[in-house]
A and B are shown apart, each in its own frame.
Chain A
Amino acid sequence: MVKVKIDGVTIEVEPGTSVLAAAEKAGLRIPHLCVVKGIYEGASCRLCLVKTPTGRLFPACAYYVYRDEEFISDSLDLRIERKVNFEFILKFHRMECWLCPRKGNCLLAKLSKELAVEGTPVCAECPLSPEECLLTKGVPCLGPITLSGCDAECVESGGPCWGCRGPISRVDVLENAFSRYRELGIDTETILRKADIFWNSLPEFEVVKKVFNRVRTS
């Protein structure tokens, strides 16, 4: 057995255990995405980074301990690196969450919340399936253009999203949302008027309006 010390917590594990597994055993959570034990251990997502006392970064999922070692799994710089890497992952994700069957049970949405990444819309946390989506019933819900993180409380309690967490600023998501509204015959002017309640003075709101305007005229 070898001793692994993570963030001050010491735990004994079999030699050859990954730092991630050791942390889990110790009840510590290190954000991770790509690892599936026995299936993929290629260390691709670079979210599970941990730091050695000398400052070197390693992915916890693919660093196997054979001797007593010490790691830091949470610090400001680690959080920044994780966040940036997670933003890279989201960069090429289409994020039409209102159409996705995994709603409410989405790893990306959970990690977004955990890493404080502002990227996913409320729909990602919405409990309703795409068929039950309020938009299909003609309800002007702000979910597709609002930042997630609230666990879609409003939809949970039966109403539409009011946009209280502020707008998404990713242009492609806004464009897709606009098309979805139009496709279902929901008036985008109503949407913008509704958004104005919470977003009135936000600079990001200007971006939303600009994008909507552009798509409308093109």
Chain B
Amino acid sequence: MPWSLLDKCCEKCWHSPKTPCPDFINCSLSGPLCHSDEECAKKRKTRLEQLQHGEKGAKIKVPWTSCTLATGAEAVYQAVVDYISKRGLDITVSISGCYGLDFIDPWLEFVTKGMPTAIYANVKENSVPKLIERYFLDQDVSGAFALKEKTGNAKGEDEVPLLSELDFWRKQYRWVSRNCGIVDPESLEEYIASGGYKGLSRALKMGPDAVIDEIQKSGLRGRGGAGFPTGLKWRITRQQRGTPKYAIANADEGDPGAFMNRLLAESDPFRIVEGLTIAGYAVGASRGFIFVRAEKPLMARRLQRAVEEARKYGLLGTNILGSGFNFDIEVILSAGAFVCGEETALIAAIEGKRAWPRQRPPYPAEKGLWGQPTVINNVETLAHVATIMAEGAEKFAALGSDRTKGTKMFCVTGAVKRTGAYEVPIGVTIRILVEELAGGAPDGVKIKAVQIGGPSGGCIPASLLDLQVDYETLQSAGAIMGSGGVVAISDENCMVDVAKFFLTFTSAESCGKCMPCRVGLRVMWSILDKITQGKGQEEDLEVLKQLAETVRSTSLCALGGTAPNPVLSTLRYFMDEYEAHIKKGVCPANVCAALVTYLIDEDMCIGCGQCAMNCPANAISKLASGKYRIDQSLCVKCGTCYVVCPVRAVKKTSCSGGGGNG
């Protein structure tokens, strides 16, 4: 093992978890501070240089996160290691987090002194040897996806664009995700080398009240959905008399289509641990918890490891950095329930109970975990906290809109060319997110709506794409910012079906404690189901609105309180689609199974038989002409033939009169 920045530089250094030095963080970067020794200073410089380019002057970074692993990063990693050892090359292989650009997964990054750092996109394991040879041996960067800088030393530099010039990078402001894809998420040393833990050491010197002032000055609002001012929440918790107090990081990211918390925690877990430690310090808590969603085990493992590392170097535990502040963190894995994200339910889950929310007030700040004052923050909020404490409130407050400061990560998915997580200053328009960052709709389809805020959010029509993303603006348009999931919906999707989909989700995830949510959502669902079957009546829409109103205003927690939003917003903007289902018995987007018929266009059919082979109902048979035909009485309308037909000879039609009333 080479010497690390976290190790003692010489005998004179006296930092250890038992005898903590308040200047440990600064000293490990620009030290030594307590003694002067040329050797020791040089050691640090060399090490920082090593971290940049690898110990051997050349480095390959493989992203090791859920999204890249799902696309084969493990095999790529293996291929890299195999090839390097086979050729006996002097290259360090390290893992890193992910840039959040899902469309380039899995990617590789090659770093070496004197050459531009190059990123390769959509790497297959069998192309690894060729890529390594070309870059490291031929010093040729052609074929790379993007370069981080230009040096003029490598071949092919002109053909490859600079990362910072590409739209999806240029338009971002990477503030809290600054380390994602850059550092090794399992190395505390790299985190500190990139400026980590500066925030905590600064906070500990300022004192809790000044920390809260600083956060209030920054204008930070919770990124978990409701947008409550974080500083205010902390102040209320701090003012409570009861002890002990607790601090919780809400990492139960459950909104379908949102993965920014996972990305942050898998790519830069120490930032969250640091943020939670600062929160604990500010409110006077002694114990912290990170509650992680069950479906995201890698996120839990990364955070667990980060906690252990931090503990090992005295950044958690007793007398942290000599400040007299004692704090430790436990990582807890959920067992799967969307409602756990609700703060009072999350507390019940940590206590080992059914995740049932309870009526607020009292708020967790007054009576939370085990009846004690508790502060709960989203992990992105906490990552912001760590960054703000390191960089200063002013820098953060300079970003964003008038009402809401700073940046926010958004996950853009659905009908777009470049799925990914993008960080932008709050207040940019939806259009920038969907069209400029995510590249707009794939060829052949058009975006007709954007769903923002997950199951609690709403659908905004394409005509309102110029709205700013900001808590208040979105709310007045019938959506919410929520956790920041943005799903582009194309004209191939039916809005009634989309509304029904969200109700399927929320009614299945309702904890069942209170009446409006448990029963009301099911009743609303069955009305929508009736409409998608073409059996709806015009009165149904009025009833739907009334029920939605009751569920919204009388549910116990915000799950029920926001669940009607997708229905209300589609009713508001896409009435025509509801009416087509009800009055004409037609699904304009050809989605609702009961209203759709599958037909094979015999002129287009090439007789390959794919459809018949895959039809689960054996509804497709060969005609004497060699073409295929669907027997409508057997067809279960699964749509498989439509998907598998190589020449798109299978057509969907929505004929009127299919059980309609109109």
Contact = CB atoms under 8 A, between A and B. Distances in A.
Given A44-B513, A44-B515, A46-B514, A85 B554 contact: yes
A91 B519 contact: yes
B356 A46 contact: no
Interface residue SS majority, chain B: helix
B359 A84 contact: no
Contacts of A91: 519, 523
A84 B546 contact: yes
Interface in A36-58: 42-46, 49, 57-58
B241 to A, nearest CB: 14
A63 B359 contact: yes
Interface residues of B, number: 20
A81 interface: yes
Interface string B348-369: 0000000010110110000000
Contact of A46 (B516, B523, B547): B516
Nearest to B521: A88
Contacts of A85: 515-516, 520, 550, 554
Nearest to A86: B515
Contacts of A84: 516, 520, 546-547, 550
Contacts of A45: 514-515
Contacts, number: 58
A85 B555 CA distance: 10
A42 B547 contact: no
A64 B366 CA distance: 13
Given A42-B358, A46-B556, A92-B519, A81 B550 contact: yes
Contacts of B519: 88-89, 91-92
Contacts of B553: 57, 81
Contacts of B556: 43-44, 46, 59
Contacts of B550: 80-81, 84-85
A30 interface: no
Contact of B554 (A42, A62, A81, A89): A81
Contacts of A46: 514-516, 554-556
Interface in A71-109: 80-81, 84-85, 88-89, 91-92
A44 B358 CA distance: 9
A68 B527 CA distance: 43
Contacts of A59: 359, 556
Contacts of B362: 64
Contacts of A81: 550, 553-554
A92 B519 CA distance: 8
A64 B362 CA distance: 9
Given A84-B547, A85-B550, A43 B515 contact: no
Contact of B520 (A43, A49, A57, A88): A88
A155 B358 CA distance: 44
Contacts of A44: 513-515, 556
B359 A88 contact: no
Given A44-B556, A81-B550, A88 B516 contact: yes
Contacts of B516: 46, 84-85, 88
Nearest to B513: A44
Contacts of A64: 361-362
Q: Identify the interface centre among B358, B361, B519, B554: most chain A CB within 10 Å of its CB.
A: B554
Q: Identify the interface centre among B356, B518, B546, B553: most chain A CB within 10 Å of its CB.
A: B553
Contacts of A42: 356, 358-359, 513
Contacts of A92: 519
Interface string A174-217: 00000000000000000000000000000000000000000000
Contacts of B514: 43-46
Interface string A107-151: 000000000000000000000000000000000000000000000
A136 to B, nearest CB: 33
A46 B546 CA distance: 16
Q: Identify the interface centre among B359, B515, B519, B546: most chain A CB within 10 Å of its CB.
A: B515
B477 to A, nearest CB: 21
Q: Identify the interface centre among A44, A45, A57: most chain B CB within 10 Å of its CB.
A: A44
Interface of A: 42-46, 49, 57-59, 62-64, 80-81, 84-85, 88-89, 91-92
8 contacts: A45-B515, A63-B361, A64-B361, A84-B516, A88-B516, A88-B518, A88-B519, A91-B523
Interface of B: 356, 358-359, 361-362, 513-516, 518-520, 523, 546-547, 550, 553-556
Question: Which 5 residue pairs across A and B have the least CB separation, nearest first?
Answer: A88-B519, A84-B550, A62-B359, A43-B359, A46-B554
Given A62-B358, A80-B550, A89-B519, 12 more contacts: A42-B359, A43-B556, A44-B556, A46-B554, A46-B556, A57-B554, A63-B361, A85-B515, A85-B516, A85-B554, A88-B519, A92-B519
